[in-house]
Chains A and B, each alone.
Chain A
Amino acid sequence: MSRANALDRRAVVRTLLHERGTLLVVAGLGAPAWDATAAGDHPLTFPLWGAMGSAAMIGLGLAIAQPERPVLVLTGDGEQLMGLGSLATIGVQRPANLAVAVLDNEHYGETGMQPTATAAGVDLAAIAAGCGFPRSEVIRDMAGVEALRPRLQARHGPLFAEIKIAADSPPLVLPPRDGGLLKSRFRAALLGPDAALA
Protein backbone atom coordinates (compact mmCIF):
# COMPACT_ATOMS: atom_id res chain seq x y z
CA MET A 1 0.00 0.00 0.00
CA SER A 2 1.37 3.41 -0.91
CA ARG A 3 2.13 5.62 2.08
CA ALA A 4 2.93 8.67 -0.04
CA ASN A 5 -0.29 10.50 0.78
CA ALA A 6 -0.63 9.40 4.39
CA LEU A 7 -1.72 12.10 6.82
CA ASP A 8 0.27 14.07 9.37
CA ARG A 9 -0.67 12.62 12.76
CA ARG A 10 -0.34 15.88 14.66
CA ALA A 11 -2.60 17.67 12.17
CA VAL A 12 -5.15 14.85 12.46
CA VAL A 13 -5.28 14.97 16.25
CA ARG A 14 -5.23 18.77 16.38
CA THR A 15 -8.24 18.74 14.06
CA LEU A 16 -10.16 16.12 16.03
CA LEU A 17 -9.59 17.91 19.35
CA HIS A 18 -10.28 21.42 18.04
CA GLU A 19 -13.10 23.01 20.07
CA ARG A 20 -13.56 19.70 21.84
CA GLY A 21 -16.48 20.86 23.97
CA THR A 22 -17.55 18.21 26.46
CA LEU A 23 -15.46 15.47 24.85
CA LEU A 24 -13.73 13.01 27.19
CA VAL A 25 -10.54 11.53 25.72
CA VAL A 26 -8.54 8.38 26.41
CA ALA A 27 -5.19 8.52 24.59
CA GLY A 28 -3.48 5.18 24.00
CA LEU A 29 0.06 4.23 24.89
CA GLY A 30 2.79 5.93 22.89
CA ALA A 31 2.51 8.43 20.12
CA PRO A 32 -1.28 8.97 20.34
CA ALA A 33 -0.75 10.22 23.90
CA TRP A 34 2.02 12.53 22.69
CA ASP A 35 -0.22 13.74 19.84
CA ALA A 36 -3.07 14.52 22.24
CA THR A 37 -0.67 16.40 24.49
CA ALA A 38 0.72 18.35 21.54
CA ALA A 39 -2.84 19.47 20.84
CA GLY A 40 -3.00 20.78 24.42
CA ASP A 41 -2.62 19.03 27.78
CA HIS A 42 -6.14 18.74 29.19
CA PRO A 43 -7.47 17.34 32.48
CA LEU A 44 -10.20 15.46 30.59
CA THR A 45 -7.65 13.60 28.50
CA PHE A 46 -6.41 10.41 30.17
CA PRO A 47 -3.12 9.46 28.53
CA LEU A 48 -1.74 5.95 28.97
CA TRP A 49 1.89 5.24 29.81
CA GLY A 50 1.35 1.50 29.95
CA ALA A 51 -1.41 -1.14 29.97
CA MET A 52 -1.03 -1.67 26.22
CA GLY A 53 -4.27 -2.87 24.64
CA SER A 54 -6.47 -1.22 27.27
CA ALA A 55 -7.40 2.12 25.72
CA ALA A 56 -10.68 1.07 24.12
CA MET A 57 -11.87 -0.71 27.27
CA ILE A 58 -11.11 2.31 29.47
CA GLY A 59 -13.19 4.26 26.99
CA LEU A 60 -16.02 1.75 27.31
CA GLY A 61 -16.12 1.93 31.11
CA LEU A 62 -16.09 5.71 30.90
CA ALA A 63 -18.77 5.82 28.20
CA ILE A 64 -21.09 3.58 30.23
CA ALA A 65 -20.55 5.71 33.34
CA GLN A 66 -21.11 8.99 31.46
CA PRO A 67 -23.75 8.33 28.78
CA GLU A 68 -24.44 12.04 28.24
CA ARG A 69 -20.81 12.84 27.43
CA PRO A 70 -19.09 11.97 24.15
CA VAL A 71 -16.01 9.77 24.67
CA LEU A 72 -13.13 9.49 22.20
CA VAL A 73 -10.51 6.76 22.36
CA LEU A 74 -7.52 7.90 20.37
CA THR A 75 -5.03 5.10 19.92
CA GLY A 76 -2.58 3.45 17.58
CA ASP A 77 -2.75 0.38 15.37
CA GLY A 78 -0.32 -1.61 17.55
CA GLU A 79 -2.23 -0.74 20.72
CA GLN A 80 -5.59 -1.66 19.20
CA LEU A 81 -4.25 -4.89 17.72
CA MET A 82 -3.28 -5.97 21.25
CA GLY A 83 -6.88 -5.40 22.36
CA LEU A 84 -8.79 -6.78 19.37
CA GLY A 85 -11.19 -8.62 21.65
CA SER A 86 -12.27 -5.31 23.14
CA LEU A 87 -13.90 -4.46 19.81
CA ALA A 88 -16.18 -7.47 20.29
CA THR A 89 -16.87 -6.45 23.87
CA ILE A 90 -17.79 -2.93 22.73
CA GLY A 91 -19.86 -4.37 19.89
CA VAL A 92 -22.00 -6.14 22.48
CA GLN A 93 -22.48 -3.00 24.61
CA ARG A 94 -22.88 -0.52 21.74
CA PRO A 95 -22.57 2.71 23.71
CA ALA A 96 -23.84 5.50 21.45
CA ASN A 97 -21.41 8.00 22.95
CA LEU A 98 -18.18 6.09 22.23
CA ALA A 99 -15.83 6.67 19.30
CA VAL A 100 -12.61 4.73 18.71
CA ALA A 101 -10.17 6.43 16.35
CA VAL A 102 -7.07 4.46 15.45
CA LEU A 103 -4.11 6.44 14.16
CA ASP A 104 -2.76 3.80 11.80
CA ASN A 105 0.84 4.24 10.66
CA GLU A 106 1.14 0.48 10.12
CA HIS A 107 4.17 0.38 12.42
CA TYR A 108 5.25 0.06 16.05
CA GLY A 109 6.58 3.59 16.22
CA GLU A 110 7.99 3.52 19.75
CA THR A 111 10.13 0.43 19.29
CA GLY A 112 11.96 0.93 16.03
CA MET A 113 9.24 1.13 13.37
CA GLN A 114 8.65 -2.59 12.94
CA PRO A 115 5.60 -3.19 10.72
CA THR A 116 2.30 -4.10 12.42
CA ALA A 117 -0.35 -6.46 11.09
CA THR A 118 -2.12 -3.56 9.37
CA ALA A 119 0.95 -3.19 7.14
CA ALA A 120 0.24 -6.70 5.90
CA GLY A 121 -3.36 -5.78 5.14
CA VAL A 122 -5.18 -6.66 8.34
CA ASP A 123 -8.24 -4.41 8.19
CA LEU A 124 -9.16 -2.95 11.59
CA ALA A 125 -12.19 -1.11 10.24
CA ALA A 126 -13.57 -4.34 8.81
CA ILE A 127 -12.95 -6.09 12.12
CA ALA A 128 -14.81 -3.32 13.97
CA ALA A 129 -17.69 -3.59 11.49
CA GLY A 130 -17.70 -7.33 12.00
CA CYS A 131 -17.87 -6.77 15.75
CA GLY A 132 -21.06 -4.79 15.36
CA PHE A 133 -19.91 -1.17 15.26
CA PRO A 134 -22.72 0.40 13.22
CA ARG A 135 -20.29 2.94 11.79
CA SER A 136 -16.78 1.96 10.79
CA GLU A 137 -14.60 3.58 8.16
CA VAL A 138 -11.09 4.13 6.86
CA ILE A 139 -10.08 7.79 6.54
CA ARG A 140 -7.27 8.74 4.17
CA ASP A 141 -7.62 12.53 3.75
CA MET A 142 -8.07 15.59 5.91
CA ALA A 143 -11.56 16.16 4.53
CA GLY A 144 -12.49 12.86 6.12
CA VAL A 145 -10.91 13.91 9.41
CA GLU A 146 -12.79 17.22 9.32
CA ALA A 147 -16.03 15.35 8.69
CA LEU A 148 -15.32 12.98 11.57
CA ARG A 149 -14.87 15.76 14.15
CA PRO A 150 -18.55 16.76 14.58
CA ARG A 151 -19.58 13.12 14.50
CA LEU A 152 -17.51 12.53 17.64
CA GLN A 153 -20.01 14.75 19.44
CA ALA A 154 -23.15 13.31 17.85
CA ARG A 155 -23.49 10.24 20.09
CA HIS A 156 -24.75 8.10 17.20
CA GLY A 157 -22.13 5.45 17.73
CA PRO A 158 -20.32 3.50 18.65
CA LEU A 159 -18.19 4.58 15.75
CA PHE A 160 -14.82 3.34 14.61
CA ALA A 161 -12.40 5.23 12.39
CA GLU A 162 -9.08 3.95 11.12
CA ILE A 163 -7.08 7.00 10.07
CA LYS A 164 -4.12 6.29 7.81
CA ILE A 165 -1.20 8.44 8.93
CA ALA A 166 2.45 8.75 7.93
CA ALA A 167 4.99 6.58 9.74
CA ASP A 168 7.09 9.36 11.16
CA SER A 169 8.02 10.41 14.70
CA PRO A 170 7.32 14.07 15.40
CA PRO A 171 9.02 15.68 18.42
CA LEU A 172 7.97 14.24 21.78
CA VAL A 173 5.37 16.27 23.66
CA LEU A 174 4.83 14.33 26.87
CA PRO A 175 1.89 14.44 29.29
CA PRO A 176 2.38 14.08 33.07
CA ARG A 177 3.56 10.60 34.03
CA ASP A 178 2.08 10.44 37.53
CA GLY A 179 -0.92 8.14 37.18
CA GLY A 180 -2.44 9.30 40.44
CA LEU A 181 -2.39 12.89 39.19
CA LEU A 182 -3.85 11.94 35.80
CA LYS A 183 -6.68 10.02 37.48
CA SER A 184 -7.48 12.60 40.14
CA ARG A 185 -7.43 15.62 37.87
CA PHE A 186 -9.68 13.82 35.39
CA ARG A 187 -12.21 13.00 38.10
CA ALA A 188 -12.09 16.48 39.60
CA ALA A 189 -12.64 18.08 36.18
CA LEU A 190 -15.50 15.71 35.33
CA LEU A 191 -17.20 15.10 38.67
CA GLY A 192 -16.25 18.22 40.62
CA PRO A 193 -14.11 18.68 43.72
CA ASP A 194 -16.26 16.30 45.75
CA ALA A 195 -14.89 13.45 43.64
CA ALA A 196 -11.93 13.41 46.01
CA LEU A 197 -14.31 12.61 48.85
CA ALA A 198 -15.99 9.67 47.07
Chain B
Amino acid sequence: MSAREAVDWPADIHAALQAAAVRQIAYVPDAGHARLIKLCAADPAMRMVPLTTEEEGIALAAGAWLGGERAVLLMQSSGVGNCINTLGMVEACRFPLLMVVTMRGEFGEFNPWQVPMGRATPAVLDAAQVVVHRASEASAVGAVVAGAARLAFSGYQAVAVLLSQQLIGAKSFEK
Protein backbone atom coordinates (compact mmCIF):
# COMPACT_ATOMS: atom_id res chain seq x y z
CA MET B 1 0.00 0.00 0.00
CA SER B 2 1.40 3.38 -0.98
CA ALA B 3 1.66 6.30 1.41
CA ARG B 4 -1.20 8.02 -0.40
CA GLU B 5 -3.55 5.07 -0.07
CA ALA B 6 -2.65 4.75 3.58
CA VAL B 7 -4.74 7.82 4.42
CA ASP B 8 -8.09 6.45 5.56
CA TRP B 9 -10.17 9.27 4.11
CA PRO B 10 -13.56 7.56 4.65
CA ALA B 11 -12.68 7.39 8.36
CA ASP B 12 -11.77 11.07 8.21
CA ILE B 13 -15.19 11.88 6.71
CA HIS B 14 -16.89 9.84 9.42
CA ALA B 15 -14.91 11.69 12.08
CA ALA B 16 -15.88 15.05 10.54
CA LEU B 17 -19.56 14.07 10.50
CA GLN B 18 -19.31 12.85 14.08
CA ALA B 19 -17.65 16.10 15.18
CA ALA B 20 -20.40 18.08 13.46
CA ALA B 21 -23.08 16.08 15.35
CA VAL B 22 -24.63 14.77 12.14
CA ARG B 23 -27.32 12.25 13.09
CA GLN B 24 -29.23 11.27 9.95
CA ILE B 25 -27.19 9.64 7.19
CA ALA B 26 -29.21 9.65 3.98
CA TYR B 27 -27.68 7.82 1.07
CA VAL B 28 -27.99 6.23 -2.30
CA PRO B 29 -25.04 3.84 -2.31
CA ASP B 30 -21.95 4.25 -4.39
CA ALA B 31 -18.90 2.02 -4.36
CA GLY B 32 -16.85 5.05 -3.38
CA HIS B 33 -19.04 5.55 -0.31
CA ALA B 34 -19.08 1.88 0.74
CA ARG B 35 -16.55 2.18 3.56
CA LEU B 36 -18.04 5.42 4.89
CA ILE B 37 -21.51 3.84 4.90
CA LYS B 38 -20.15 0.92 6.93
CA LEU B 39 -18.48 3.25 9.42
CA CYS B 40 -21.64 5.32 9.86
CA ALA B 41 -23.82 2.22 10.21
CA ALA B 42 -21.56 1.03 13.03
CA ASP B 43 -21.92 4.37 14.84
CA PRO B 44 -24.77 4.22 17.39
CA ALA B 45 -25.21 8.02 17.19
CA MET B 46 -26.04 7.82 13.49
CA ARG B 47 -29.31 6.73 11.87
CA MET B 48 -28.96 5.25 8.40
CA VAL B 49 -31.65 6.21 5.89
CA PRO B 50 -31.21 4.45 2.54
CA LEU B 51 -33.12 6.27 -0.19
CA THR B 52 -34.79 5.16 -3.40
CA THR B 53 -33.68 8.37 -5.14
CA GLU B 54 -31.39 11.21 -4.12
CA GLU B 55 -33.91 14.05 -3.91
CA GLU B 56 -35.56 12.22 -1.02
CA GLY B 57 -32.45 13.05 0.97
CA ILE B 58 -32.83 16.79 0.38
CA ALA B 59 -36.32 16.61 1.87
CA LEU B 60 -35.16 14.37 4.73
CA ALA B 61 -32.43 16.86 5.62
CA ALA B 62 -34.97 19.70 5.62
CA GLY B 63 -37.27 17.76 7.93
CA ALA B 64 -34.35 16.85 10.19
CA TRP B 65 -33.38 20.53 10.50
CA LEU B 66 -36.98 21.51 11.29
CA GLY B 67 -36.82 18.94 14.07
CA GLY B 68 -33.45 20.09 15.41
CA GLU B 69 -31.18 17.43 13.90
CA ARG B 70 -28.46 17.51 11.28
CA ALA B 71 -28.33 15.25 8.25
CA VAL B 72 -25.88 14.48 5.49
CA LEU B 73 -26.66 13.22 1.99
CA LEU B 74 -24.25 10.76 0.38
CA MET B 75 -24.55 10.00 -3.31
CA GLN B 76 -22.68 9.67 -6.57
CA SER B 77 -22.62 12.43 -9.16
CA SER B 78 -25.36 10.86 -11.27
CA GLY B 79 -27.73 11.58 -8.38
CA VAL B 80 -27.10 15.31 -8.46
CA GLY B 81 -29.35 15.62 -11.48
CA ASN B 82 -32.21 14.05 -9.54
CA CYS B 83 -31.98 16.76 -6.89
CA ILE B 84 -32.38 19.94 -8.90
CA ASN B 85 -36.00 20.92 -8.31
CA THR B 86 -35.88 19.93 -4.65
CA LEU B 87 -32.81 22.12 -4.17
CA GLY B 88 -35.12 25.04 -4.89
CA MET B 89 -36.72 24.48 -1.48
CA VAL B 90 -33.30 24.61 0.18
CA GLU B 91 -32.64 28.00 -1.40
CA ALA B 92 -36.15 29.36 -0.80
CA CYS B 93 -36.08 28.38 2.90
CA ARG B 94 -32.33 28.78 3.44
CA PHE B 95 -32.06 25.26 4.85
CA PRO B 96 -28.56 24.06 5.70
CA LEU B 97 -27.57 21.14 3.49
CA LEU B 98 -24.44 18.97 3.42
CA MET B 99 -23.90 16.65 0.47
CA VAL B 100 -20.90 14.39 -0.11
CA VAL B 101 -20.75 13.36 -3.75
CA THR B 102 -18.48 10.72 -5.24
CA MET B 103 -17.60 11.64 -8.81
CA ARG B 104 -18.16 9.44 -11.82
CA GLY B 105 -17.67 10.33 -15.43
CA GLU B 106 -14.31 12.03 -15.10
CA PHE B 107 -10.78 10.67 -14.57
CA GLY B 108 -10.45 7.18 -16.07
CA GLU B 109 -14.19 6.64 -16.59
CA PHE B 110 -14.98 3.60 -18.75
CA ASN B 111 -18.76 4.08 -18.96
CA PRO B 112 -19.77 6.76 -21.46
CA TRP B 113 -23.26 7.01 -19.92
CA GLN B 114 -21.71 8.38 -16.73
CA VAL B 115 -19.81 11.15 -18.48
CA PRO B 116 -22.55 13.72 -19.27
CA MET B 117 -23.87 13.99 -15.70
CA GLY B 118 -20.38 13.81 -14.25
CA ARG B 119 -19.27 16.72 -16.42
CA ALA B 120 -22.40 18.70 -15.61
CA THR B 121 -22.30 18.10 -11.86
CA PRO B 122 -20.33 21.19 -10.70
CA ALA B 123 -22.25 23.53 -13.02
CA VAL B 124 -25.61 22.07 -12.05
CA LEU B 125 -24.86 22.46 -8.35
CA ASP B 126 -23.64 26.01 -8.90
CA ALA B 127 -26.78 26.86 -10.88
CA ALA B 128 -28.87 25.52 -7.98
CA GLN B 129 -27.05 27.84 -5.54
CA VAL B 130 -25.04 25.04 -3.90
CA VAL B 131 -21.49 25.88 -2.78
CA VAL B 132 -19.11 23.35 -4.33
CA HIS B 133 -15.95 22.12 -2.63
CA ARG B 134 -13.64 19.69 -4.37
CA ALA B 135 -11.47 17.09 -2.61
CA SER B 136 -8.89 15.31 -4.76
CA GLU B 137 -6.13 14.48 -2.25
CA ALA B 138 -6.79 11.83 0.36
CA SER B 139 -5.03 13.82 3.05
CA ALA B 140 -7.32 16.83 2.50
CA VAL B 141 -10.69 15.09 2.55
CA GLY B 142 -11.37 15.23 6.28
CA ALA B 143 -10.65 18.96 6.53
CA VAL B 144 -12.73 19.74 3.44
CA VAL B 145 -15.75 17.88 4.84
CA ALA B 146 -15.31 19.50 8.25
CA GLY B 147 -15.22 22.95 6.65
CA ALA B 148 -18.21 22.14 4.48
CA ALA B 149 -20.18 20.99 7.54
CA ARG B 150 -19.40 24.22 9.34
CA LEU B 151 -20.39 26.31 6.33
CA ALA B 152 -23.61 24.31 5.98
CA PHE B 153 -24.82 24.15 9.58
CA SER B 154 -23.37 27.37 10.99
CA GLY B 155 -23.34 29.42 7.79
CA TYR B 156 -26.78 28.10 6.71
CA GLN B 157 -25.64 27.20 3.21
CA ALA B 158 -26.14 24.31 0.85
CA VAL B 159 -22.70 22.76 0.36
CA ALA B 160 -21.56 19.83 -1.74
CA VAL B 161 -18.18 18.16 -1.38
CA LEU B 162 -17.18 16.48 -4.64
CA LEU B 163 -14.81 13.56 -4.11
CA SER B 164 -12.75 13.29 -7.28
CA GLN B 165 -12.64 10.05 -9.22
CA GLN B 166 -8.86 10.18 -8.90
CA LEU B 167 -9.32 9.85 -5.17
CA ILE B 168 -11.77 6.97 -5.32
CA GLY B 169 -10.23 5.13 -8.24
CA ALA B 170 -11.96 4.56 -11.54
CA LYS B 171 -14.50 1.74 -11.53
CA SER B 172 -13.77 -1.24 -13.71
CA PHE B 173 -15.65 -4.44 -14.53
CA GLU B 174 -12.40 -6.04 -15.68
CA LYS B 175 -11.20 -7.00 -12.20
User: Footprint of B on A, CB under 8 Å?
Assistant: 24, 26, 46, 48-66, 83, 85-86, 88-89, 92-93, 179-180, 182-183, 186-187, 190-191, 195, 198
Contact among A24, A65, A187, A191 with B24 in the assembled complex (CB-CB below 8 Å)? A65
Q: What are the 4 A-B residue pairs with the smallest beta carbon separation, nearest first?
A: A61-B63, A65-B67, A85-B52, A179-B93
Determine chain A's interface SS by DSSP, over half rule: helix
Q: Which one, B23, B49, B59, B92, contacts A58 given CB within 8 A? A: B59
Judged by a CB distance under 8 angstroms, whether B138 is at the interface is: no
Inter-subunit contact B60/A57 (CB<8 Å)? yes
Cross-chain contact B67 with A61 (CB below 8 angstroms): yes
* Chain B residues within 8 Å of chain A by Cβ, number: 32
Main DSSP-derived SS at the B contact region:
helix
1/0 per residue, CB under 8 A from A, across B85-101: the answer is 11011001111000000
A64 near B67 with CB under 8 A, answer: yes
Q: Which residue of B lies closest to A183 (CB)?
A: B93
Complex CA gap A20/B52 in Å reads 32
CB distance from B128 to the nearest CB of A (A): 12
Instruction: Check A60–B49 contact: CB distance below 8 A.
Output: yes
A54 lies within 8 A of B86 (CB): yes
- Residue B68 interfacial (CB < 8 Å): yes
Is B69 engaged at the interface, CB distance under 8 Å to the other chain? yes
Taking a contact as CB atoms closer than 8 A, the residue among A46, A61, A63, A89 that contacts B71 in the complex is A61
Judge whether B64 and A187 touch: CB under 8 Å. Answer: no
Q: Which of A49, A56, A58, A92 contacts B66 (CB 8 A)?
A: A58
Q: Which residue of B lies closest to A92 (CB)?
A: B50
Is B93 a contact partner of A182 (Cβ separation < 8 A)? yes
Whether B49 and A93, one on each chain, are in contact in the complex, defined by CB atoms closer than 8 angstroms, is yes
> A89 contacts B63, CB within 8 Å?
no
Question: For the complex, what is the distance from the CA of A63 to the CA of B68, rounded to whole Å?
Answer: 11
> Which B residues are in CB contact (< 8 Å) with A64?
23-24, 47, 49, 63-64, 67, 69
Q: Chain A residues with Cβ under 8 A from B55's Cβ?
A: 53-54
Q: Is the CB of A191 within 8 A of B68?
A: yes
- Which A residues are CB-close (under 8 A) to B130? none
Docked complex Cα distance between A186 and B64 (Å): 12
Closest to A61 in B: B63
Please indicate the chain A residues that have their CB under 8 angstroms from the CB of B92 in the complex. 49-50, 179-180
A52–B173 Cα distance when bound, in Å, is 37
Bound complex: CA of A62 vs CA of B68, how far in Å?
A: 8
Q: Are A61 and B61 neighbours in the complex by a CB distance under 8 Å?
A: yes
Check A57 against B56 for contact (C-beta < 8 Å). yes
Q: Pick 12 A–B contacts, CB within 8 A, sort by A.
A: A51-B85, A58-B63, A61-B63, A61-B65, A64-B24, A85-B56, A88-B52, A89-B56, A92-B49, A179-B93, A179-B94, A187-B66
State A75–B94 Cα separation when bound (angstroms).
23
Q: Please, how many angstroms separate the alpha-carbon atoms of A133 and B85 in the complex?
A: 27
Give, as a whole number of angstroms, the nearest-CB distance from A95 to chain B.
10
